[in-house]
Every structure is written in structure tokens, then in C-alpha cells.
Structure 1
């Protein structure tokens, strides 16, 4: 049976590509989460030489990271070329001590990077667009060097709970988001150590349902799940959505709740080994002297 929440990566790529030009104007939550993630770097003892921004969007996260870690080289990776084009525009020149960032079009679930090639992986609200969290974390673990840092934020199950309730259950109108405890278990399976996770809730307010949908469209957050309605939803659906959403109106505004899970974890001192394999240890051969 097909998973109705399986994300169509081709549709997702097209949505983010088209949204790139207007993305920054609507990416209010992304900016707030980025600032929170940056503030948490103040307590992290790390001097990375190479940083991967996985799902870089329009590049503001990587720009801030390279200002914070002035000796680091950046790798900007996104599944949408339109987003990478906007990222490139943020780096018209480079300080004499910095190497030009690399811009890579790729999927987080299959990173086109060599094993143990980065010191830090950063990802701001991109992991929720992947189909298999275990695969994502294994890829992050693979490309990180020993004692490397993983730091990401993703969306939890309470995200867009108002929209989910108002839209009904006949189709998947909102993606499936993973609980913090399940993320913690997946980090352990992937071989990360000392994981720290916590949750914050953000609420954006709107005058109308149309404004909610317009903002989601502007950041490329189209419904790309297999269980989405394949045809036009039509006036009837929008009318039901308006009626259902009105029950959440408070102080004249409609809320859109986002549950954000913040994560950081370390790779530890051991080099990466592929799942299901064990490192082979060779013991020195004992030399036996004559007469023993």
C-alpha cells in the first residue's frame, strides 16, 4: 500500500524553484528559527573549517554562519536551482581569507558529498521535506568528520494543526511531521552521540484563510504528498476551509501554529561506518624467539 504522506520530490523541487524570488518576503518563520539557531552557537565549542547548509534556501543561513565562523568554507546545498541562484546572489565578493562557497544542487537523502568531508552540518526547516528520517541522518553522519556537529531544526506534529483540522481528512492537505522523541531515537540509530532536543511553538496570525494559503505558496510549501487531491479543490473546499478555520479565530486573527524541534548532536571520535558493518581491528602479530 502506498504511503499517502510520501513526498513527490519532483513536485517539491518545482514548487521551491518557482517560489525562490518571493521566498524571503514570506519566510517569517524561517528567519525567526534561523536567529534562534544562531543564538545557540554561542555555547558550542567548535571551529569548523567546512560547513554544509543542507537545504540552504536563499542562503541567509550560510551567510550568517560564515560571518560567525570566519575561517570556514561553506557548502550551500538545495534541491531547487532557483534557491541556489538566490544564494549565489548573496556572495558577490569574498573576504581575502575566505574561500568561495560551493553551490550544490542535490537531495538531502542522497548527499553528493564525500564521506567525512565536513565539520558541521546545519539545516533550517528542510528535514521535514524528506521521506525517510533514518536515511537523512545516516547521510548527515556519513559526510561529517569525527567530532563533527549536526545542528538542525524541523517541524513537529502540532505544525499547522488548525489547517489540518479545518481541511478534514479526505485527503492529505498537510504533510506528516515527526515527534521529537522519534527524532531522538533516529539520531541514536544513526550513531550520533550526546543529542540535545527541545521544542518551541511559534504562532503566525492572519486576517483570512487566503492569507495563510498565500504565505505557504510564497515559500514553496505546496502539498506534495501522494495522498493530496489530484484535481482542483474548487470553491466548495475553500468554503468548508473558511468555515472550519473560523473556529480558531482569536482577537480578530486566525492563527497558524508551528511546532519547531531544535536538535544538535555530535558524531563522536569514531570514524563513520556504514550501517550493518563493523570496523575490522588488526592485532599485531606476536614474534616468537627461538628457545621460547
Structure 2
């Protein structure tokens, strides 16, 4: 059985990558954010758990029997554990940029001791060509600063007819939060999320075949805008764009932001919309690129 190369159980810390475009996630900030949120993530990642479960259910619609599985952006290991239980004969490799997230998962003990976790950037996977049957990624692609390169890496490691199954956030995500901040200033306060059609085009450019894309909307509600922002911070999902404001936001701006968000209040609750994009795509039968 072919398996990924250079799996390091000691989870080495990566070097900081090059600077990204100002509107895209800054790689070092993403890593730092999730490192800091590792201990609070599981308690607050309600939507993330639900979306992951729905993506796992889609595997029941396939006949794939993978022997090698990558769980990209594995976080604290929800999907890795489910994949390990579902495919008993497979080797599951959790991959995440955040060392602290993977260490948090390891502290669960049990089956995690058997999984060789990889601390790596999804645009530079330390994995052999044509060695993976299934790449699974739930709500991780939105943190990637170069989706084209990420998709090329996934195409490279997938075996012929290997499956890439994923979810990510679309541009309607946190639209209320974005609108409230836009009423305050022109700075970048909310992460930017790729459109479903742009994601599909990127998959095709990478040489992956016949992508099927779907969208589902979720709405979480909060008593206050501050509660929403605390929730986002506790799962490591706050603004990590390169041109985000640095330092603390002044009290006057915060007051204007809270007032602007109030326009969205319904039934005494403030909504936060999440657009979830589901994608299914296969590696072709033979490499032609």
C-alpha cells in the first residue's frame, strides 16, 4: 500500500511563508489565530461540527473504499476520528497548519495515538505524488492564501480517480458583520470568501474532473454584536486578512459598529449568515497535465 511520505509525528513548526495579497488570509496570522483558539475551539465550533457531519454523510453516497486519506485542516480531529471509524482498513493522516490544534487533538488519546498527524501548509503538502485515495476538508479552504496552488497540490497527491470532498465558506458569509463595519470605515474587518464559481474554475484549472458544487445557508443568532465577535475569536476565525486593522478599535468606532449592526435585528436577536459551499471532484483516470 502506498502511503504519504515524510510524516513527522513531532509536528515541526513551519517557517512563515511569503506575504499574501492584502485581501487574502495572511498565513502566519491564520496559524497564530488557531494556535491561540485551540483550547476553546471545540466548545464554540457549533456550526463547524454540523457542517462536518453533513459532509461526512455525503461519503455514504459514494462507493469509494480508500486506503489512504488526508483530512486537510483537521483542527481538533472531528473528521479524522469519523473517517478512522468509517474506513477501518484505511490510514488517516490529519493535516493542519496549527500545531496547537493538532496537539489538542492528540490529548484526546485513544485512536489519535495511532494517527500520524502532519503540521503542514496545504499549498506545500509533504506527500508523495499519486498516493492518496481521499482528500477530505471541512471548512478549511477559506484560510488558504493561494487556492490555485492548493488545488494543484491536491491534484498531485490524489491517485487516478481519487476523490476530493470539501466544504468552504462563500461570499455571503458574515454579510451582516461586513455591512456593519462598512458603515464605520473602509478598512478590512471581515475575511473575504471565494465565490462558488471561482472555486469550481480553480478546480478545473488544477486538472480535477467534473466538479459538483452546491450551496447551503445557515444563520446563527446572538443577543449582541460583541457576543458574535467573541464567538468568532474563540474558534480562531476572526479577521486574518493582510490589510486588517492593527491594534485596538476605539470606543467611538465600536459604538458606531454596534449601532450599524442593530439594523439587522429580528425577534430580538442579531443574525449571522454563513454561506457553506459543498464540493465533490475527482482526479481523472490518468494524469494528463
> CA–CA distance in 2 between the matches of 1:220 and 1:272?
39
> CA–CA distance in 2 between the matches of 1:231 and 1:193?
44
Structure 1 vs Structure 2 CA RMSD? 1.5
Provide the TM-score with structure 1 as the length reference: 0.88
> CA–CA distance in 2 between the matches of 1:47 and 1:114?
20
Deviation at 1:268, TM superposition (A): 1.7
In the alignment, does 2:252 pair up with 1:243? no
Aligned to 1:151: 165
Provide the TM-score with structure 2 as the length reference: 0.89
Aligned to 2:16: none
Deviation at 1:91, TM superposition (A): 4.3
SS in 1 for 2:121: coil
Q: Deviations 1:246-285 (Å, cap 9, x if unpaired)?
A: 0000011000000000001110211374xxxxxxxxxxxx
Equivalent of 1:13 in 11, 16, 31? 31
Figure out how many residues of one structure are paired with residues of the other and give that number.
268
> CA–CA distance in 1 between the matches of 2:116 and 2:132?
12
Aligned to 2:224: 208
SS in 2 for 1:151: strand
Aligned to 2:134: 120
Aligned to 1:65: 83
- Structure whose alpha-carbon radius of gyration is higher: 1
Deviation at 1:231, TM superposition (A): 2.6
Aligned to 1:191: 207
In the alignment, does 2:191 pair up with 1:175? yes
Equivalent residues of 1:63, 1:90 under 8 A apart: no
In the alignment, structure 1 segments of 5+ residues that lack a partner are 274-292
> CA–CA distance in 2 between the matches of 1:11 and 1:236?
26
Aligned to 1:287: none
In the alignment, does 2:146 pair up with 1:132? yes
Equivalent of 1:165 in 179, 195, 198? 179
> CA–CA distance in 2 between the matches of 1:93 and 1:156?
33
Aligned to 1:276: none
